[in-house]
Amino acid sequence: MPIHRWTEVEKLNYFELVAKCTVNNVINWQSVFNNQTQHLKCHTPKECEDIYYKLKKADKLFEQRKQLFSQWSPQQLLILILSANYLSQNFEKIQQIFFQDKTEDEIRQKYNNYIAKQDQQIQILIQNKYLPDQFFKKEQMIEQHMSQFVEKYKTELQKINKKTQILSSGSFNDSFEQKFDDISDISKINEKSFNKLLDNMDANSQDQ
């Protein structure tokens, strides 16, 4: 069942409550139930236990994701590939427009590692399903996402006075738009993302 939308403070307070109700590594769930805060509203001690372990699992996954995205998020990696193609690997312009928090050398090195299919972070992101399996297939990524990239960042691209060129013909496939948005959404590390992760875990548990 869906649970309360957790803020970071509420989550930490609940973890503290459980710690206070733990003696010799044994959690007294009846005590947790009796001392729960108003927003939690567990109906049974077992429900308090289930919520706790769901929070702990989501917290672990969330922290893992933050570490995986610490240098380059999936969205940034996709933007790097598309902008390098669109701007003919002019890493100075790419840095100025898209990656002002990174150096030109960092951007060039990341792109070169991608082209050589030797980037460990990208490999891990693919293994953990944060990037599609075909992410190293550059031409496929360009074909699928370039049109939306140009549309999404047309203001930024206009800054370099370059005439916009859409590199795919015909109408743009909605599923490709969704793929681009999925990669964008998954890179947003914030409180809302944590609660979305909880919702996904709820849905998965109901399917089992």
- Do 88 and 152 fall within a single domain? yes
What is the rounded distance in angstroms from the CA atom of residue 49 to the CA atom of residue 166? 53
- Do 84 and 178 fall within a single domain? yes
| Domain-located, residue 172 | yes
- pLDDT at residue number 192: 54
Question: Which positions of the chain have pLDDT values less than 50?
Answer: 1-2, 162-178, 180, 183-190, 205-208
Determine which helix (DSSP H) or strand (DSSP E) holds 89, and give its type and residue range. none
| Domain-located, residue 197 | no
| Domain-located, residue 192 | no
Q: Measured in whole angstroms, how far is the alpha carbon of residue 43 from the centre of its chain? A: 33
Task: Quote the tokens at residue 159.
Answer: 């800054």
- pLDDT at residue number 178: 47
- pLDDT at residue number 186: 43
Length of the chain: 208
Q: Identify the domain containing residue 14 by its residue range.
A: 8-69
Q: How many domains does the chain have?
A: 2
Query: pTM value?
Result: 0.59
